[in-house]
Amino acid sequence: MNELSLKSVVLSSDKPICLAILAMGGQGGGVLADWIVEVAEQQGWHAQSTSVPGVAQRTGATIYYIELLGGHHGATPTLSLMPTQGDLDIVMAAELMEAGRSMLRGLVTPDRTVLITSTHRSLAVSEKIVPADGEGDPELVATAAGIAARRLIAFDMQRMAEAVGSVISASMFGALAGSGALPFPREAFEAAIRGGGKGIEPSLKAFSLGYEAAGLRQVAGPIRKPISKQFAPTPITTGHASLDAIVGRITTGFPQALQPMLLVGARRLVDYQDPAYAQQYLDRVAAFVARDPLPGHAIGQAAAKYIAVALAYDDVIRVADLKTRSKRFARVRQEMGAADQQLLQMTEFMHPRGEEVIGLLPVHLARIIQARPALFRFVDRVVNHPRRVRTGTIAWFLALYAVSALRPMRRGTLRHAEEMAHIAKWLKCADNVIDTNPRLAAEILATRRLVKGYSDTHARGAAKFDRVLSAVPLLEPRPDGADWLRRLREAALADEQGKTLEGALRTIATLDHL
Amino acid sequence: MAERSFRREVQDLKLGAGAEFRGEGILAITKALLQSGVGYVGGYQGSPISHLMDVLADAQDVLDDLGVHFESSASEAAAAAMLSASVMYPIRGAVTWKSTAGTNVAADALSNLASGGVIGGALIIIGEDYGEGSSIMQERSHAFAMKSQIWLMDPRPNLPSIVSAVELGFQLSEVSNTPVMLEMRIRTCHVHGHFIATDNQKPAYSLQKALANPRRDTGRIVLPPATFVHEKEKIEHRWPAAVAFIKAHAINEFFGPETAELGLILQGGLFNAVLRSLQQLGLADVYGNSQVPLYVMNVTYPIIDDEVAAFAASKRAVLVVEEGQPEFIEQAIATLLRRRDIQTVLSGKDVLPQAGEYTAEVLLRGLRSFIETHDRHLLGNAAPFPGPDAILSDPAIRALATVVPPRPAGFCIGCPERPIFAAMKLVEQELGPRHVAADIGCHLFSILPPFNIGATTMGYGLGPASASAFNVTSGGKDHRPISVMGDGGFWHNGLTSSVGNAVFNKQDGVILVVDNHYSAATGGQDILSSRASNPGRQTNNSIVAAVRGIGVKWVRQIDHTYDVARLRDTLREALTTPQGGPKLIVASSECMLNKQRRTRPLLAAARKAGKRQVTERFGVDEDVCTGDHACIRLSGCPSLSVKHTDDPLRDDPVATIDETCVGCGNCGEVAEAAILCPSFYRADIIHNPTTTDRFLARMRATVIGWLQRRRDASRIVFPESTAS
């Protein structure tokens, strides 16, 4: 009976082209899906698209699914409304990690799938809220794509579209056309864009760029890595004797490996204060370099970097200085894309507290106020208000300019005295263990990374810094003490409240009892 | 005014006989309603059926021409109650909502409607929000159909089938005096396809005619003793009538060979997915030819016993493919086979999963298992379907799990609700954590990072009611709960169930009404308190007046949610005031998506016309930012991100704002209120500056430029690096 029925049904071997688009709400995935359907139907194909937008329209990850079938039979096909793992011919991702998601979902398989992805990153909230660097490693996606996809077409379709005033759906559509994965001519794709909607001209431009990028190269562009750090070349002459002296001291008095970082540090501190301040920086670093027993000058490297960071602490004078610079005015105009005939006004959002103002005062005067809580409260009450500073107006500019003019007096301020005491304590801590546990000394120096931000954030960072360094006495005798301190630092950066850090500290306490 | 304009789709509604309709499933339904001579349509917006409401809201002229009344119902209960027009009058009516959330709300009216029965066709378009893309609890509407005896249609997911289900649904409703639910899955609502249109029909019996000829029949009113009669009628008359109609019109379909060892019984909505799985097993093709017999239930309730029995009796085993749980259909078929003593093996949730969406992979596995068990050689010659298992087990692919971030939905760029939760976060830091009862709406995104605010959600407009048990004093004023509710939830049901309840019970808590001027999460539809003027609706009804009217004494209105400091201070006051009873804050600012859609074209036109205009955008001074990302933990705005710098002294990326920023002000306000850092600035770009603008700018540039040059000249710095 079964044999009979088998013979009675002749099955067609036609298979649709299956295509999935992974995008985030607001990226125009729906427009892209509509265009693809439009092209296919214009070419006499059957086309069916579906989506599950729902709340994902509000910035979440979502997927559009399309099936296309050449209409030879005349019969109406039954097309699926959802992708089957391992059964996709084309997967398009509107962002690099969405390409990663498509592979994790089993939508990309080496025998079938052309993976077309933009390489740009749009960071997820979970990546951005980390107090340190929470960005997922893009190279893992590149590696995976090399294995999972039959063919990979990857480049920055976002920037490409933006450059011509369009949106990513247009450059992705171009990449799809240029990939040759669909058997339709270029004109058919362009006709779909012309067929409706807004911004047809920019869309066609972005389409064209995407088409060419995909068609010409037919290979993967580089997956973007974090920007590499820029070290300026050693200047031969600076035009200023005190600066030449600094350069001379660095090039003759320090190991070659440390010189690029020292130059960066010195450059920053001259900019921050003056050449003498940079010389003091070199004094402090030199003290560590002289006693550094580690290969590759590990202690010296950490000292060169973090002592510069510590000495260039962020204070009111620095902020006022940076905010009033001519270069900044030009940069803001450029970043905001202001045209020549347009005017631009800046408003800064500042909220100075009593502490900051008192920190600006000469040490003895500031201490007098600090010793009188009522007076302190009074100053705070007067000062502690949000200020909308319109830097481009003469009055506000003068106010900021006046604060920045306090720079020569900085060494006499309370804030400076406090910072120097804090730095001295920190350096002492490293210095104490440099002979017994030199790797730990390097890690102590690198712990400075934790101190950042302003007001409350700064206080929290400083508290974490102190908590981490509180483990030094326990760690000093341990050969793996440096590794533990590094772990503590990483734990401190894992979350804002310091919960991970407290857990790590408890672990260390038990370690010691073992 | 909805988020999207449906002007083009409205044209599709006017298509005449023979013209081809192209578009998505839910719009095909809308057209089918008009073709069926519907007299009135109501509903409550929500994914996946919002577009049905939106397109009708934009189609007033079409509706007027036909004499169709369309209403944006205040809730699903209101929509369901609207169907009572079909109880006494032969008028076809249709309502729509997302289910099961909406069906829960409508259940009271539905029970009454189904008890008395209808004489005009009553169709309920159910957006079955189940599986991927769903935003609600995972339940089945099927249970409602069974308990109230409402017929349930689940047509094959292609436009011609859906369109014909609408017409058949009305007829079925009329011949059996029973309301009919038409179930549309998410993907089906959004599926693109085509069908050949027929002319729109004016209602055969108009609403005006009904008003002029009022009828009443106590036999149709839900009051004893009529109710006892209704129940008997359901079983003795309405059920047999429905079964006869479904059989006569062959609404359920058979595919594949007439005789075979095995057969599949499936819900119509699953047809395409089942067919694809069979295709992958080598047992079907893309044109709907199958080597396995299929009984496709386009009506899943009632079950047509004779059809099922005949189908099963000739097979050795049948598989019921039924999505969701409990497996009502399978249970019913089991009872049927047992009662008729049919010895066919019944399979279903034994090889298919009990819970969850029936995705292609799930079906493929289940079908293969069923066929392998009962007729292995059917699979004989088919090449094994190449699944993803090999690639998924590759370490390089598995490693992706460590870097691919979850990307749930969140607040849009410039969303006015973001600063509200930033303020709540600041209050939390100040006064400590407390119980926060959340509600349904965009504001529910607060439960996710970075805000992590909100403990429960109990239903639309029920946020404050869900905090009502905590109306105790022992915790002291320090622990007053906060309950959040949107303007949508407020008007849906919150005014009475939450606010009225709180007033009457003297609920000592804080109620925060998030008013974004629209039902924003569902697509920006107008509601009572919308600020826009809408010719067809009465808008601009004040929430504050309503809550004062219902008896709230402590009310604060904040008409600019971006004022984080003010919100924080108001919240603090609400949490600490000695006054008892509910403390209600209305925090209002327009939904940014809608605002942009509304104002962008106007601004662009004004700019082109040479009018002075200021656009705002935020920026970050990257040399002032220290990379601690505290600002992001109080924002989560998509346009506020982080970037790596080339500065060797920096380990961590700094904050950055991209060009999608709409200048809402949250960044600056938060930096100010939380005393974060001075790196944010707002850039006001003045388009078409006036003479005064230019004069001022020139003066400023002269003075500031002179000071800057003076400073630059005296500064000792290393020459600009030309590093590459």
Query: CATH number, domain at A164?
Result: 3.40.920.10
Residues of A in contact with B286 (CB under 8 A): 12, 14-16, 69, 77-79
Predicted local confidence at residue B187, as pLDDT: 96
Last residue of a domain, one of B567, B594, B621: B594
Q: Which of A226, A242, A342 has its CB closest to that of B716?
A: A242
Predicted local confidence at residue A73, as pLDDT: 62
Q: A154 and A283: one domain?
A: no
- Whether residue B246 contacts residue B307, with contact meaning beta carbons closer than 8 Å, is answered with no
Domain count, chain B: 4
Q: B559 and B702: one domain?
A: no
Last residue of a domain, one of A367, A390, A415: A415
Say which DSSP state A180 is in: T
Q: A212 and A84: one domain?
A: yes
**pLDDT tens across B280-305, in order?**
999 999 999 999 999 999 999 999 99
The alpha carbon of residue A240 is apart from the nearest alpha carbon of chain B, in Å, by 8
Q: What is the 3-state composition of chain A as percent helix, strand, coil, each rounded to the nearest 5?
A: 60, 10, 30
Beta bridge partners of B182: B125, B153
CB contact under 8 A, A457 and B677: yes
Burial category of B582 from C-beta neighbours within 10 Å (exposed 0-12, middle 13-18, buried 19 and up): buried
Predicted local confidence at residue A71, as pLDDT: 73
CA dist A384 and A430 (Å) reads 37
Q: Which of A24, A59, A455 has its CB closest to that of B675?
A: A455
CB contact under 8 A, B652 and A449: yes
Q: Average pLDDT for residues A253-268, to the nearest whole number?
A: 96
Last residue of a domain, one of B357, B384, B411: B384
A138 is a domain residue? yes
Q: B102 and B243: one domain?
A: yes
Q: B23 and B166: one domain?
A: yes
Pairing verdict, β B40-43 and B93-99: parallel
**Residue B298 corresponds to which tokens in the numbers above?**
């386009």
pLDDT-derived band of residue B172, with 50, 70 and 90 as boundaries? very high
A166 is a domain residue? yes
CB contact under 8 A, A401 and B651: no
Select the residue from B20, B158, B279 to test the A interface by mutation, using most A Cβ atoms within 10 A: B279
- Whether residue B594 contacts residue B3, with contact meaning beta carbons closer than 8 Å, is answered with yes
Q: B146 and B228: one domain?
A: yes
Predicted local confidence at residue B329, as pLDDT: 98
Q: B651 and B590: one domain?
A: no
Q: A105 and A253: one domain?
A: no
Q: B289 and B362: one domain?
A: yes
CA dist B691 and B698 (Å) reads 10
Predicted local confidence at residue A9, as pLDDT: 67
Q: A289 and A331: one domain?
A: no
Q: A64 and A153: one domain?
A: yes
CB contact under 8 A, A80 and B682: no
Sheet containing B151-153, strands listed edge to edge, beginning at the edge strand earlier in sequence: B69-70, B40-43, B93-99, B122-128, B180-185, B151-153, B299-301
- Whether residue B442 contacts residue B592, with contact meaning beta carbons closer than 8 Å, is answered with no
A96 is a domain residue? yes
**pLDDT tens across A365-384, in order?**
999 999 999 999 999 999 99
Predicted local confidence at residue B381, as pLDDT: 65
Predicted local confidence at residue B29, as pLDDT: 97
**Residue B629 corresponds to which tokens in the numbers above?**
């990302």
Q: A403 and A458: one domain?
A: no
Residue A6 has pLDDT above 50, yes or no: no
Residue A506 has pLDDT above 60, yes or no: yes
- Whether residue B528 contacts residue B486, with contact meaning beta carbons closer than 8 Å, is answered with no
Residue A5 has pLDDT above 50, yes or no: no
The string of DSSP codes covering A151-173 is EEEEE-HHHHHHHTT--HHHHHH
Select the residue from A13, A42, A84 to test the B interface by mutation, using most B Cβ atoms within 10 A: A84
B367 is a domain residue? yes
Predicted local confidence at residue B140, as pLDDT: 98
Decide if A141 touches B, using CB distance below 8 A. yes
Burial category of B329 from C-beta neighbours within 10 Å (exposed 0-12, middle 13-18, buried 19 and up): buried
- B569/A512: higher pLDDT: B569
Predicted local confidence at residue B639, as pLDDT: 94
B398 is a domain residue? no
Burial code (b: 16+ CB inside 10 Å, e: under 16) for A490-513 equals ebbbbebebeebeebbeebeeeee
Beta bridge partners of B321: B266
Quickly count: other Cβ atoms within 10 Å of residue B602's Cβ: 9
**pLDDT tens across B88-107, in order?**
999 999 999 999 999 999 99
Q: What is the 3-state composition of chain B as percent helix, strand, coil, each rounded to the nearest 5?
A: 40, 15, 40
B210 is a domain residue? yes
CB contact under 8 A, A14 and B287: yes
Q: B60 and B209: one domain?
A: yes
Residues of B in contact with A26 (CB under 8 A): 412, 638
Predicted local confidence at residue A8, as pLDDT: 53
Residues of A in contact with B627 (CB under 8 A): 132, 452
Q: Average pLDDT for residues B244-257, to the nearest whole number?
A: 98
Q: Which of A53, A69, A86 has its CB closest to that of B388?
A: A86
Domain that holds residue A252: 229-312
How far from chain centre, in Å, is Cα B458?
Answer: 16
Domain that holds residue B94: 7-248
**Within 13 A of B524's CA, how many CA atoms are on the CB side?**
19
- Whether residue A312 contacts residue A269, with contact meaning beta carbons closer than 8 Å, is answered with yes
B413 is a domain residue? no
CA dist B172 and B178 (Å) reads 8
Predicted local confidence at residue B8, as pLDDT: 87
Residues constituting chain A: 514
Q: B345 and B238: one domain?
A: no
CB contact under 8 A, B285 and A24: no
B408 is a domain residue? no
- Whether residue A5 contacts residue A85, with contact meaning beta carbons closer than 8 Å, is answered with no
Select the residue from A55, A158, A385 to test the B interface by mutation, using most B Cβ atoms within 10 A: A55
Residue B395 has pLDDT above 90, yes or no: yes
A223 is a domain residue? no
Pairing verdict, β A343-350 and A387-389: antiparallel
Residues of A in contact with B364 (CB under 8 A): 84
Q: Which residue of B has its CA nearest to A52?
A: B133
A72 is a domain residue? yes
Q: How many angstroms separate the first and last alpha carbons of chain B?
A: 53
B396 is a domain residue? no
CB contact under 8 A, B361 and A242: no
A372 is a domain residue? yes
Say which DSSP state B492 is in: I
Last residue of a domain, one of A256, A289, A312: A312
CA dist B38 and B61 (Å) reads 15
Residue B675 has pLDDT above 80, yes or no: yes
Predicted local confidence at residue B721, as pLDDT: 59
- Residue B116 makes CB contacts below 8 A (sequence gap 6+) with B87, B220, B221, B222, B226, B230
Q: Which of A126, A226, A239 has its CB closest to that of B406?
A: A126
Q: A53 and A168: one domain?
A: yes
B402 is a domain residue? no
Q: A332 and A366: one domain?
A: yes
B720 is a domain residue? no
Instruction: State the angle between helix axes of A259-272 and A275-290 in degrees (0 to 180), rounded to the nearest 10.
Output: 150
Last residue of a domain, one of A312, A335, A353: A312
Say which DSSP state B480 is in: -
Q: A281 and A386: one domain?
A: no
pLDDT-derived band of residue B499, with 50, 70 and 90 as boundaries? very high
A224 is a domain residue? no
Residues of A in contact with B359 (CB under 8 A): 82
CB contact under 8 A, A81 and B187: yes
Q: A39 and A160: one domain?
A: yes
Identify the three-state secondary structure at position A76. Answer: coil
Predicted local confidence at residue A512, as pLDDT: 61
Q: B558 and B644: one domain?
A: no
Predicted local confidence at residue B324, as pLDDT: 97
Last residue of a domain, one of B225, B248, B271: B248
Select the residue from B283, B421, B651, B691 to test the A interface by mutation, using most A Cβ atoms within 10 A: B651
Residue A181 has pLDDT above 60, yes or no: yes
The string of DSSP codes covering B211-278 is HHS----GGGSSSTTHHHHHHHHIIIIIHHHHHHHHHHTT-SEEES-SS-SEEEEEEGGGHHHHHHHH
Which ranges in B471-628 belong to alpha helices (H)? 487-489, 501-504, 543-550, 564-576, 592-608
- Whether residue B642 contacts residue B655, with contact meaning beta carbons closer than 8 Å, is answered with yes
Q: A242 and A137: one domain?
A: no
Q: B303 and B271: one domain?
A: yes
**Domain harbouring B339, CATH code:** 3.40.50.920
A4 is a domain residue? no
Q: B273 and B242: one domain?
A: no
Instruction: Identify residue A372 by its one-letter amino acid code.
Output: R
Quickly count: other Cβ atoms within 10 Å of residue B206's Cβ: 17
**Domain harbouring B683, CATH code:** 3.30.70
Q: Which of A1, A131, A144 has its CB closest to that of B396?
A: A144
Q: Which residue of B has its CA nearest to A244?
A: B718
Residues constituting chain B: 724
Residue A301 has pLDDT above 70, yes or no: yes
Tokens 């008013």 appear where? B515
**Within 13 A of B666's CA, how many CA atoms are on the CB side?**
30
Predicted local confidence at residue B723, as pLDDT: 41
Select the residue from A36, A48, A81 to test the B interface by mutation, using most B Cβ atoms within 10 A: A81
What is the overall mean pLDDT for chain B?
95
Identify the three-state secondary structure at position A240. Answer: coil
Predicted local confidence at residue B229, as pLDDT: 98
Q: Average pLDDT for residues A218-239, to the nearest whole number?
A: 72
**Domain harbouring B30, CATH code:** 3.40.50.970
Domain count, chain A: 4
Predicted local confidence at residue A25, as pLDDT: 85
Respond yes or no on whether the N-terminal peptide bond of residue B408 is cis (omega within 30° of 0): no
- Residue A476 makes CB contacts below 8 A (sequence gap 6+) with A433, A436, A437, A440
Tokens 């058997």 appear where? A183
Q: A79 and A207: one domain?
A: yes
Residue A43 has pLDDT above 70, yes or no: yes
Q: B259 and B316: one domain?
A: yes
